[in-house]
Structure 1
Amino acid sequence: MKTNVKALVVGGGAVGTSIAYHLARAGWSDVMLLERDELTSGSTWHAAGLLPYFNMSYATTHIHDYSIKFYKTLEEETGLNAGFFVVGNLRMAQTDERMDEYMVYATTAETVGVPYEWMTPDQIKERWPLVNTEDLKGAIYHPTDGYINPADVTMAMAKGARQRGVTIERKWQVDGYEWKGDHWDVTVTKMVEKGGNLVPSDEQTVISAEHVVTATGNHAQRTAKMLGIKIPAIPVEHQFIVTEPDPALLAYREAGNEQHPVLRDADAKWYVREERGGWILGPYELNAPACFEYGVPDSFRADLFPLDLDRIEEEYMSMIHRIPSSETVGLKDDFNGPICYTPDGNPLIGPAPGLRNMWLAEGFSFGITAAGGAGHYLAQLMVEGEAEIDMASLDPKRYGSWMTTEYAARKNEEAYEHVYILHHPDEERPACRPLRTGPAYDRQKAKGAQFGVVNGWERPNYYGPLDADDNFDHDARSFRRGGWWQYAADEAKAIREGVGLIDATAFTKHRLSGPGATAFLDWFTTNKLPKVGRINLTYALTSAGTTRTEYTIVREGEDDYYLVSAGAWHAYDQDYLKKAIEDKEPEFGRINLQDVTSQYGVFALAGPKARDLLKGLIKDADPETALSNKRFPWLSYRQIELGMCPVNAIRVAYTGELGWELHHPIEMQNYLWDLLLKEGEKHGLKLVGARAQNWLRQEKSYRAFGTELGRDATPLEAGLDRFVDLDKDFYGKDAMVKTGIRSKCVTLLIDGPEDADPWGREALYTEDGTRVGRLTSGGWSAAFGKSIGMGYVKPELAEPGTKLKVRLFKELWDAEVTEDSPYDPKNATIRVDG
């Protein structure tokens, strides 16, 4: 057995074998895979093997697309049939709203090039007469996917990995990890059979590995404990049943008819596929419990749980309704096994938080579908430094250290039961809420705030009516304009015409100081550093020269900085910053990093009347001039006092209006809230949520991290040249310049339908129907009275005035590229004096 390797992959399911295969294919010749039992003995062996394309995530759609195409090549390479049945995937809809969901999804599919077809109930019935279509509205059909044998595809990838030089060792369990500064020492123990159980032997060794990848599936909690980190991957029980042969199905097939596609009745919460003349029913029912919250028992191997038919009775009866011939067919087999989930249902793929050369590939609820693509894109991350797609949305650090086992278990149960619940783009799932709240939460709630979640923080999305008699349902989501739309539109208008108050407490905030701080930040970010008392917007890059993080830097002293970044990416930003400091501190000198996110609340005050409101509160020898351009210019910072509250005020506004961010001690937040609201009564202050703010920032073409800004585009491609100082050296500069301009970020005004706006996932076309880009953000423009969006197109199409089309609900609608910052392009409102 080898004891020194370039990369060690821990876990021999479909995901682990794919990673080992793809690392070898990417050029790493010295790769080893360890499995504590037999290959596929985790969740892989009892998976149903479905390969659904359907996913609202751009990154995950790419991963699924790669898998489906890759699996079709394995037999030619390895000689092993992967058991891929390309029967297609028919996703049926019983309601118009479900069809809306499919249409919104289809726009994401188009941006990746995933083929699909629309089918009417009559077309379904004509092609597959065993399906009852009387209550259907239609369906979306993917002709290129289907189902695969999980064991066969895993063995094919394992053989392909061995052919490329990968060593695969079975019956070895990892019992410890130790980082030695440039490699991991991994303690492993030989496992032996004893009385039907798998138990550790006395044989133990240490493997030295430059890189380690954990793909431990159900054992993720054990992995987390050994590494001293948190991994919110916990299994949930998933049941499926196999019926005896259905005579009607047998007769249908004997007549020479094609196999049915994988059938999905999303409104009934199940999938069905053919299996040896019968049917497999896989429900996603309510109340499926999490399991192995604190680890898998040693006695649990390739085992199952008892079936709970009562829990899936409703789904079983709905299968009989949809396929009437199945009513008299008996049950042949049943499965109830653990399938790992994460709180948002997407896997955790990427660097482990706080650790070097440790990579996670955990939490795969659709592991067979994702295995091929996960291996491919993770190998790119490891070998090349970055993947060709932005993997940030799947990064393990999207959950911070606040996450607990209880939180993960309950949210994972929720993610399971939401597999077939309508995936509204404006959905806000209720489990484990509220959890992280600012002091003003109750006050905001009393004012009608309807909250969303950002990294666990409750943040107002909009403020709705308080009168119960108005019958307004705040939970009424929509794929078009939801019930909240008019309230957000009114809030956006208030910012443009008066003054609004936004809670931005969820911002990530760090202090950076010390003799090496200035040199480090100058190397770490793209823009010139601000002078003392000033701020700037800047970017940290990846090794590929793409955008890793956006920062607002406030320079409080010569070597004292206050860094503000996106609230949704707290642990993600912190980990990258901390590791960069560790690497460069020997060169630049001592650097102190302090996370102050929870120490400061943030209120953003914006609108033409913002200065007038603050004049009534500021404690200054001359309140009339304290907030003037001369004493408090745009893009500057000052310590002020509002009543009895000390405030670090920054003259900047994400809405594009005159405004200030008021960073204040979190323990004084309620005092400041009350103060602002009382004074605001004189000026018509309106409380504003995140949805209106998102629309307003698009009118100013302000890019947002996670949408326009990410690891698949450089700041130059994002059109942020003014924030990039090419006269200095900074990390990622050479790669950025070498990349050039592959696409350009643009803002578009859209003449869309009267009842809907883009969500920021739609495909863009030329007027002759050629697909040329995609939206990354979308919404409504109060200033222009029409839909607005931001996205990426080919460089030659980025000129203002270019006519394009955007796909919304099957139709192509007119869109026009505008100048950057179509609202107030000269920033006159932001700079206005007073």
Structure 2
Amino acid sequence: MKTHVKALVVGGGAVGTSIAYHLAKAGWETMLLERDELTSGSTWHAAGLLPYFNMSYASTHIHDYSIKFYKTLEEETGLNPGFSVVGNLRMAQSRERMDEYMLYATTAENVDVPYEWMSPDQIKERYPLVRTDDLVGAIFHPTDGYINPADVTMAMAKGARQYGAVIERKWQVDGYEWTGDHWDVTVTKMTEKGGNLVPTDEQQVIHAEHVVTATGNHAQRTARLLGIKTPAVPVEHQYIVTEPDPALVEWRKQNGEHPVLRDVDARWYVREERGGWILGPYEDGAPHRFRFDVPDSFRADLFPLNLERIEQEYMDFIHRIPSTEEVGLKDDFNGPICYTPDGNPLLGPAPGLRNMWLAEGFSFGITAAGGAGHYLAQVMTAGEAEIDMASLDPKRYGDWMTSEYAVQKNEETYPFLLKLHWPDEERPAARPLRTAPCYDRMKAHGAQFGQVNGWERPNYFAPKGFDDMAASSFRRGGWWQYAKAEAEAIRSGVGLIDATAFAKHRLTGPGATAFLDWFTTNKLPKVGRINLTYALGPAGTTHAEYTIVRQAENDYYLVSAGGWHAYDEDFLYKAIEDKEPEFGRINEEDVTTQWGVFAIAGPKSRAVLAELINDPNPDTALSNKRFPWLSMRNIELGMVPVKAIRVAYTGELGWELHHPIEMQNHLFDLLMTAGEKHGLKLVGARAQNWLRQEKSYRAFGTELGRDATPLEAGLDRFVDLGKDFHGKAAMEQTGLRFKCVTLLVDGPDDADPWGREAIYLNGERVGRCTSGGYSAHFGESIAMGYVRPDLAESGQALEVKMFDRLWPATVTEDSPYDPRNERIRVDN
């Protein structure tokens, strides 16, 4: 056995072998360890389906790569991976489901995934075994199908060996230790004993510069060995195999193999299997397994079938394919499949650790394996992938996450896989969890909450008795009218927003200034002032956005997106650790939960604060002269000391009021009382999102990410090219592949863009939307996105794809609402 390698991959399922293949192909000396046999985990009992359908742009890229890659394996390795390209028919029983498909289809177009629409009559004509009288239509993917999981894994393993990778079986990892420049990985030889896999006395230490864990159902054990947390916990997935269906056998004689069928409203899939059918349901009540450990006795094992749990799905299967009513059951499978709370895998660098990479939580492991290996290898070998992988980053769940949270959310996620995926849905399990002190007060005022990084954050405010779950839609849901009123209130009066979920860090010490000057793109602010700035990755793309408040010469208060708290902190901490020897001592402190935040904005915001501020001259304390735009002052509102920052994400006169979180309710009551005569309205995140688009304010995770530079995002004014900063050379070398624009969209009367839509010109796709919504000011839909640089000029006519139609759209000037920022800087 080798004891020194560049990369060690732990786990021999489809995901692990793909990673080993792609790393070896990239030229890295790679070894893969498997504690049992290749494919002995969830891979062996997977149904092998390869569905394209996914609402995530990154995941769609990953699935697309996998499907194309698997088709090349036989020529490369000589092993047939068992890919049956039979197509995938995804049926719809409702107009809402077809709306979902049409929203998905624009994501598919952005990745060049082919699809076809089919009516019930067309389905019946092409696939007469399917009952269609209660269908509305379907989307058909002609290029996917299903594959043999074991065969494709073995083909990738052979390919990995051809590129020089070493694969060792029956070795279990029992310890990881970071030495400062490599990992010492302690491994134990395993052996068979009485049908179980048990450790021997033989141990080795492997020195690996990089380690990737792809341990599937063993993810919790892996996390404990690494000293981190993970929400990857398995859930039972069962499927049954029928005896041959004579009608199917007869149909095949003239037509070839039947496509995969998905009746998602009935929550099942089926595919052919030796003249019969494999039925895979996603029922309610599927329990989690192995919250802490997989028992040593559990190898390529299964759980007992629970037919009662899937009785309704089985009856719906017979309803949809009536020929199966007299067909008997031949076999059944009920095995563990690892899940995460949002259904996406954990793919990327491990939190807090150097050169440790996670590839865990793959509920669609066969579909994603090829692409996961490809894009993770890009990140590891080149510093960045060609797509933004942030939505899959393991650090999207912070240390607040517990095993109980993971269990509740994963059991919720499992049946949701085939439920309607409303873009505005907020799933209820494990909530509320993280709440600001004002949560109950906001709730009493009608707050309808969403969850961001575990925090409860008001999305909008509605009258008593309003049903948030029933308000979701692919069009303008029941909440839309309330968000519109909130947006109008900020434009014409004053609104109050709970922004407590912002991530907040404090940097001090003699090295803080030099570090931040190197770490971020913009000039550092003077004492008492603020700046918006960006931190870049090695490819020159945007890794983080910070509002930097300079409190003293070497004292900085950093505010960043609440949804990316753990990600920003990890990126910041690792950069400090790297540069502290060069710049001097830097003290980094996470103060997120110490400070609550209210954002007050609108033409009357100054008047509300003037009633509360303790100042000898309250009428002038908030004036431009004493409190200019983009500055910070320590003020007192009633009994509350407030770090007031004159900035507003809504584009109106306003302040962020950072306050001791234990005083939040007192401050809330003061603001509500003072604001009553000024018509103060509570405002949620959805209205704020619309308002920031009217100002062309880019948001991290949509316009800002690891697939675009700040210059491509149109943020030149926040990039000081006169100084050296991390990622500058790569950013300049990248050039302008595309440009960020704001669009006003003359769309349907009952819908707005969601930020996933394709952008067209004369029938050619020229870009994609990244954000969308409604502009209360302009009275029409608004969107942001990326297009070819030559199409980024104000006035350019384009089209946006919505509900399978192209709607007129026009590129506006940057910040179409108040482009000269006069309202933000208005004086007393």
What interval of TM-score do these two structures reach, taking the shorter chain for normalisation?
Answer: over 0.9
Deviation, 1:662, is 0.1
Partner of 1:11: 11
Per-residue CA deviation, residues 187-221 of structure 1 (Å, 9 max, x unaligned), is 00000000011100111110000000000000000
- Measure how far apart 1:407 and its partner are: 0.4
The secondary structure found in structure 1 opposite 2:745 is strand
TM-score normalised to structure 1 length: 0.99
Amino acid at match of 2:324: S
Q: Give 1:257 deviation, angstroms.
A: 1.0
Equivalent position to 1:415, from 387, 404, 413: 413
1:825 matched to 2:819? The reply is yes
1:792 and 2:791 aligned: no
> Could you say which residue in structure 1 is the equivalent of 2:728?
733
Question: Residue 735 of structure 1: SS of its match in structure 2?
Answer: helix
* Alignment partners' CA distance in 2, 1:225 and 1:540: 31
- Structure 1 segment 323-402 matched on structure 2, within 5 A: 323-402=321-400
How far apart are residue 606 of structure 1 and its match? 0.2
Which secondary structure state, in structure 2, belongs to the residue aligned with residue 624 of structure 1? coil
Aligned-residue identity in percent: 81
Q: 2:564 aligned with 1:569, yes or no?
A: yes
Distance 1:26 1:701 in 2: 39
Q: Which residue of 2 aligns with 1:630?
A: 625
Secondary structure at 1:32 match in 2: strand
State the match for 2:171 in structure 1: 172
Superposition deviation, residue 26 in structure 1: 1.4
Which residue matches 1:105? 104
Q: Deviations over 1:461-515 (max 9, x none)?
A: 000011x4xx655532100000000000000000000000000000000000000
Q: What RMSD in Å do the two structures reach over aligned CA positions?
A: 0.6
Aligned partners of 1:211 and 1:358 also within 8 Å: yes
Please tell me whether the aligned partners of residues 252 and 258 of structure 2 are also in contact (alpha carbons under 8 angstroms).
Answer: no
Report the Cα offset of residue 417 of structure 1: 1.0
Which structure 2 residues correspond to residues 167-566 of structure 1 after superposition, within 5 A?
167-254=166-253, 256-466=254-464, 468=465, 474-566=469-561
Q: Is 2:123 aligned against 1:124? A: yes
Within 1, Cα distance between the matches of 2:394 and 2:732?
A: 29
C-alpha separation between the residues in 2 aligned to 1:477 and 1:691? Answer: 13
Q: Deviations over 1:592-646 (max 9, x none)?
A: 0000000000000000000011000000000000000000000000000000000
Q: Deviations over 1:147-200 (max 9, x none)?
A: 000000000000000000000000000000010110000000000000011100
In the TM superposition, 1:686-697 aligns within 5 A as 686-697=681-692
8 Å contact kept, 2:448–2:468: no
Question: In structure 2, what is the equivalent of residue 153 of structure 1?
Answer: 152
Structure 2 counterpart of 1:634, one-letter code: W
3-state SS, counterpart of residue 587 of structure 1: helix
**Is contact 2:695–2:815 with CA below 8 Å preserved after alignment?**
yes
Extract structure 1 runs of 4+ deviating beyond 3 A: 471-475
Q: Secondary structure of 2:74's partner?
A: helix
Q: Does 1:598 align with 2:593?
A: yes
Structure 2 residues without counterparts, runs of 5 or longer? none
Q: Which AA in structure 2 matches 1:13?
A: G
Provide the rounded CA distance (Å) in 2 between the counterparts of 1:577 and 1:373.
28
1:760-807 deviation per Cα after TM superposition (whole angstroms, max 9, x unaligned): 0000000x1100000000000001000000000000000000000000
Aligned pairs (5 A) from 1:555-704: 555-704=550-699
Q: Distance in 2 between matches of 1:715 and 1:475?
A: 39
Shift of 1:260: 1.4
- Counterpart contact for 1:283–1:315, Cα < 8 Å: yes
What residue in structure 1 maps to residue 36 of structure 2? 37
SS in structure 1 opposite 2:265?
helix
> CA separation in 1, counterparts of 2:180 and 2:469?
52
Could you tell me how far apart the structure 2 residues matched to 1:472 and 1:184 are? 52
C-alpha distance in structure 2 between counterparts of 1:61 and 1:36, whole Å:
31
Give, as a single letter, the amino acid of the residue that structure 2 aligns with 1:46: H
Structure 1 letter corresponding to 2:588: L
Tell me the distance in 2 between the aligned counterparts of 1:334 and 1:797: 55
Distance across 2 between alignment mates of 1:247 and 1:89: 22
What is aligned with 1:58? 57
1:807 has 2:801 as partner? yes
Match of 2:739 in 1: 744
Q: Say which SS state the counterpart of residue 625 (structure 1) adopts.
A: coil
Distance 1:251 1:58 in 2: 40
Matched, 1:22 2:22: yes
Asked if 2 retains the 8 angstrom alpha-carbon contact of 1:450 and 1:474, the reply is no
In the aligned structure 1, how far is the partner of 2:433 from the partner of 2:298?
A: 33
Partner SS, residue 532 of structure 2:
strand
Q: Distance in 1 between matches of 2:677 and 2:516?
A: 43
Give CA deviations for 1:244-278 in whole Å, capped at 9, x if unaligned: 00111111112x21221110000000000010000
CA distance in 2, matches of 1:95, 1:561: 53
Cα shift at 1:117: 0.4
> In 1, Cα distance between the equivalents of 2:69 and 2:356?
26
> Is the CA contact (8 Å cut-off) linking 2:340 and 2:409 kept in structure 1?
yes
Structure 1: distance between partners of 2:55 and 2:319: 29
SS of the residue corresponding to residue 741 of structure 2 reads: strand
Equivalenced residues, count: 828
Spell out, residue by residue over 1:673-731, the C-alpha distance to the aligned partner (whole angstroms, 9 max, x if none): 00000001010000000000000000000000000000000000000000000000000
Indicate the residue corresponding to 2:707 in structure 1: 712
Q: Distance in 1 between matches of 2:74 and 2:326?
A: 38
Q: Which amino acid aligns with 1:552?
A: T
When normalised by structure 2's length, the TM-score is 1.00
Q: Could you tell me how far apart the structure 2 residues matched to 1:274 and 1:132 are?
A: 17
Amino acid at match of 2:159: G
The residue matched to 1:154 in structure 2 has which SS? helix
SS at match of 1:271: strand
Code of the residue aligned with 2:689 in structure 1: it is: N
Distance 1:166 1:410 in 2: 39
Distance 1:43 1:713 in 2: 36
- Once residues 472 and 218 of structure 1 are traced to their aligned partners in structure 2, the CA distance between those partners, rounded to angstroms, is 37
Structure 1 counterpart SS, 2:707: coil
Describe the shift of the 1:553–1:308 C-alpha distance in structure 2 as closer, same or farther (beyond 3 A): same
SS in 2 for 1:520: helix
1:82 correspondence with 2:81: yes
